[in-house]
Structure formats: C-alpha cells, structure tokens
C-alpha cells in the first residue's frame, strides 16, 4: 500500500523547491549558485538542498554547469541554472488587428514564434479566437519538434478581462462584449487538455518587463530594472501596466490599467468610449493620424506591414510639421495622465512600450516636462522615463511568462515523486 505523504510535509517540500528555483532564476548568470551556496543563502541543510536539486535536475527544470577550472586545493563546485531543455509555455496576443504567438522555455528564451499580421478586428469573436488557436497550434508544433513540454498557455487581450471566469467583459476597440474566451478556445483540438488563462494585454506587458529587465541599448541594459513602474502600452487604445515592488497590480476585479480613459481635458474631443478628453483621444494611433492630418487607415497596429508607428516615426524623422505637432500634443497628454498616476502610486519609472516605444524620441521631452511640473515627489526624486526592454512583443512574451512563473512558484507537479 502506497504511503500518503502528509499535506504539511508536501507543502514544505513545494515551498523549498520553489525557493531554490527562484534563487537560481534570480542569480547573476556569471555567478551561478552551487548546492552549497544555495544551502548557505536559504538556511536549508546541505542534504535537503542536494536532494531537492537532484529532483529538479531529473525533472528537467535545472541543469548543472561544468565545473570551473581548479584554482587551489579541493574540487570546485558545479553551478546551477534554469534549464531550457524541457518545460515551456505558450503565449498568444490578440491585438487590434494582428495575432502573435510564441513559446518560451523556462530560461525565458523564445523557442518558436508565428504571427498573422492582419486580421479584421470587427469580425466575429469566434472566428478571431479560432484563428488565434490555429496560430497557437502552429507554434505548439514547432515546440514539439524541439522536444519541449508546453505546460500551459495564456492569451493577452485588450479591454476588461475576468481572468477567473475566462471572459473578456468589454473591449471597445474590438467592439466585443462578454466574450467567453477560454470556453471558445477549449473547443480547438490542438488546445485540448492544455491549461489555459486569459489576462489584460497591458498587465501581461508589465509581467514581461519584470521578466526582462533593461532597455534596448547596451548602456541602458546595464542599469538595474525598476521594481516599481507604470508601463504605457497599446495600439489603437492606450493601456497601463502597474508594477509595485516587483508585483503587477490588477485591481479588485482585474480591470485596472485603462490608462487611455484617464481624462486629460474634460472639454476635449470625443473618445471611442463615449467620454470626452480621454488620453486615447490624443495619444492613440488613430488619434495621432487624425491630428497629424494623415488618413486614418483601417489597419493601424504594428502588426500590419508598414504599420502606423513606423509611418509616424518616418514622418517625424523628416520633420513633417503635422506629425511633430501631434506627437508633442500626445507627449503632453501622456505627461498629464501619467503625473496623476505617479502622484497616486509613487512608482520609480514610466516605461514607454507598445506603439509609444518607437515614437519615444518625440514623446519623451513634452512628457518629462509635464512630469517635472506636476509630480510632487519630483522635487525630491525625479521620475525616470525609459523605453520598454521587451519591444513590440511585450504582451505575448508576458503571457508566456505568466505560465512560467507558475512553474517557478509550484514546480512539484512537474516532478516525479
């Protein structure tokens, strides 16, 4: 008869496994921790650490590095790092008019990626979600060819998301309301049996930022990433992901992050949500095109070939007066909205992602001027403004990272007894 392990003992083992994985994940790659080092920093006995590390190695979650060259008496200890050989996660982004899917392994490396650059955002939710599931099946096939075990998937979607119920409650820019996202996805045979989740795109972009510290250029990449920040992202709409002390805030119902609907001028232009003077009416892609005197195209996202951010950047680089004025206005509007958020939340940095990232050279100056004038703490400690480290794929990478973090938090289910 098989002995049932006491619940408290199982819980302690799970916590210890997670502690070791988190320590390895957080370590400097140039100074991979050894078993003895992990015992020293965690307070666990060497025997306990050795047993748990053996289980994590056998389960393909850790790998042991070759021993370094000897520099004195005794055998040098082998370092440990996360393994990218087995466990992986799927992320899918449902953008305003594009789809992206990727598979990341436990080290965070992207092992497979595919995209559909143009979709009809006004189409039936059933058809769009089925297309996203087809794309997911494509990258799952690529991952299987590399011998990866995809343990879960998450969808990044715009709008108000009920993550517990798996429903998209409201997405004005898609024209969708109360869509049972996960129920529809589970009908696809390629996703049968795969644990699925859905979350807001801006929140997941913030998750990705925490998983990928640093910025695009080499000098900025060397700076430590802020643990508290407000990430601006989005395409047609404007979303905001908030991280405080390394944790993403989602609000009481998971509906936080609608930065685009913060009022910057009560008498301003009408927004797509029906209100007046929302940030989105100044800094959203369609608003930028209209204010610059350029035709508003039916496909505006970075997913489309020659998408709006690239078009606006190219026009700004040659000094198009309408575009430069529209970007100055957008930067000021961002500064007004973000100042209110920074005063309320006391974050260390504002991070420009999504369609704002390629336009940062023209947004930063007016945005920073507003922060300097309006943020109270700026008199003592300026608010840093930086460009996202994760680029255009932030939401889809954050979706995969959401699943991978669950692995780090509770690895026991993937290990043999």
Quick one: CA torsion of 235, 240, 245, 249, rounded to 10 degrees? -120
So what's the pLDDT on residue 182? 97
> Contact at 8 Å (CB) between 280 and 215?
no
Q: Mean per-residue pLDDT for 241-256?
A: 86
Q: What would the mean pLDDT of 309-314 be, rounded to a whole number?
A: 88
**Of 52-61, 293-302, 309-318, where does the model show the most confidence?**
52-61
Band (pLDDT 50/70/90 cuts) for residue 73 is: low
pLDDT score of 26 more than 70: yes
Residue 219 has pLDDT above 50, yes or no: no
When pLDDT is averaged across residues 112-127 and rounded to a whole number, the result is 84
Task: Give the domains, in start order, of the chain with CATH numbers.
Answer: 7-82 (1.10.10.10), 87-206+396-414 (3.30.420.40), 214-389 (3.30.420.40)
How confident is the model over 184-201, as pLDDT tens digits? 999 999 999 999 999 999
Q: Once rounded to an integer, what is the mean pLDDT over residues 161-166? A: 94
| Residue 173 pLDDT class (50, 70, 90 cuts) | confident
Determine the pLDDT at residue 303.
46
Residues 363-400: tens digit of each pLDDT: 999 999 999 999 998 888 999 999 987 878 889 999 99
* pLDDT band with cut points at 50, 70 and 90 for residue 6: low
What is the mean predicted confidence (pLDDT) over 218-235?
69
- Output the pTM of the full model: 0.86
Output the pLDDT for position 216.
34
Q: Kindly report which listed range (226-235, 285-294, 300-309, 404-413) carries the lowest average pLDDT score.
A: 300-309
Percent of the chain surpassing pLDDT 90: 62
pLDDT at 52 over 90: yes
If one compares 308 and 150, the residue with the highest pLDDT of the two is: 150
pLDDT in tens, 328-339: 999 999 999 999
pLDDT, mean of residues 349-369 = 93
Average of per-residue pLDDT across 311-329: 94
Using the predicted structure, report yes or no on whether residue 122 has a pLDDT greater than 80: no
> Where does the pLDDT of residue 2 fall: very low under 50, low under 70, confident under 90, or very high at 90 and above?
very low
pLDDT at 68 over 60: yes
């Amino acid at each position: 008869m098989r002995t049932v392990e006491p619940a408290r003992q199982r819980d302690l083992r799970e916590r210890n496994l997670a502690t070791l994985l988190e320590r390895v994940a957080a370590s400097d790659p140039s100074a991979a921790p050894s078993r003895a080092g992990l015992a020293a920093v965690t307070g666990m006995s060497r025997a306990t650490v050795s047993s748990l590390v053996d289980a994590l190695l056998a389960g393909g979650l850790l790998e042991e590095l070759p021993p370094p060259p000897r520099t004195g008496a005794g055998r040098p200890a082998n370092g440990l790092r996360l393994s990218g050989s087995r466990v992986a996660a799927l992320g899918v982004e449902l953008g305003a008019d594009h789809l992206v899917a990727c598979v990341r392994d436990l080290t965070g490396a992207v092992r497979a990626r595919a995209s559909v650059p143009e979709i009809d955002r006004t189409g039936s939710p059933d058809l769009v979600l089925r297309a996203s599931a087809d794309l997911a099946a494509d990258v799952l096939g690529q991952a299987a060819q590399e011998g990866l075990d995809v343990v879960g998937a998450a969808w990044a979607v715009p709008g108000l998301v009920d993550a517990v119920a798996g429903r998209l409650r409201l997405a004005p820019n898609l024209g969708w309301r109360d869509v049972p996202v996960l129920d529809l996805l589970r009908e696809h045979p390629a996703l049968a049996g795969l644990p699925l989740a859905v979350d807001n795109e801006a929140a997941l972009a913030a998750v990705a930022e925490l998983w990928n510290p640093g910025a695009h250029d080499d000098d900025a990449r060397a700076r430590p990433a802020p643990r508290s920040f407000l990430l601006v992202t989005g395409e047609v709409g404007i979303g905001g992901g908030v991280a405080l002390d390394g944790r993403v805030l989602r609000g009481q119902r998971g509906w936080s992050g609608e930065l685009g609907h913060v009022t910057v001028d009560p008498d301003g232009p009408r927004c797509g949500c029906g209100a007046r003077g929302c940030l989105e009416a100044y800094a959203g892609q369609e608003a930028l095109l209209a204010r610059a005197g350029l035709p508003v195209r039916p496909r505006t996202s970075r997913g489309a070939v020659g998408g709006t951010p690239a078009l606006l950047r190219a026009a700004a680089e040659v000094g198009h007066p309408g575009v430069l004025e529209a970007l100055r206005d957008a930067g000021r509007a961002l500064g007004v909205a973000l100042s209110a958020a920074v005063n309320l939340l006391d974050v260390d940095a504002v991070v420009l992602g999504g369609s704002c990232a390629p336009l940062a050279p023209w947004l930063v100056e007016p945005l920073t001027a507003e922060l300097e004038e309006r943020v109270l703490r700026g008199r003592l400690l300026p608010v840093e403004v930086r460009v996202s480290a994760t680029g255009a794929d932030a939401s889809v990478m954050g979706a995969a990272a959401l699943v991978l973090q669950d692995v780090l938090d509770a690895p026991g289910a993937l290990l043999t007894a």
